[in-house]
Amino acid sequence: MDLPSRTRWFDYSRARDMMLKATDTKHAPWYILRSDDKKRARLNCIAHLLKLIPYKKVPREKIKLRERSTKGAYDDQATLKDRKFVPERYLSRNSGVEPRRAEHHSRDICAFHQKASTYEQFSFFVPPL
């Protein structure tokens, strides 16, 4: 938001309220994501989206795999040493590995609208003041 638009804050808020009143329905609700703390906002957004998706554990047979062939074996982990990985903040309970902290700073606002089973994400760049 630029400085001159701050003088129209309440005009924008009224327009938002009118839009929400006109388009927020039981079939296609809007969800508001408070995003002053970006890291928590993203985690809350992801958790909320996952809770909206119906999940039912499907019973399946346990599969027994044969031993992996060692033909052509090499240290396949060494070649990944200098690669970029998505930080593993959430690990399986059995991993025994401490999570690493991700340092990522971004200035975006996430809002999404649920239409049946379709999700749209809108991101807006907010320059620093």
Q: Are 105 and 128 in contact (CB under 8 A)?
A: no
pLDDT tens digit sequence for 78-117: 888 888 887 777 666 655 555 444 333 333 334 444 443 3
**CA-to-CA separations, 13 to 17, 20, 22, in angstroms, rounded:** 6, 10, 14
Query: What is the domain partition of the chain in residue ranges?
Result: 23-50+104-129
H or E element in which residue 122 lies: strand 118-125
Q: Is the pTM above the cut of 0.85? A: no
Sign of CA dihedral 77, 82, 85, 87: positive
pLDDT tens digit sequence for 12-21: 999 999 999 9
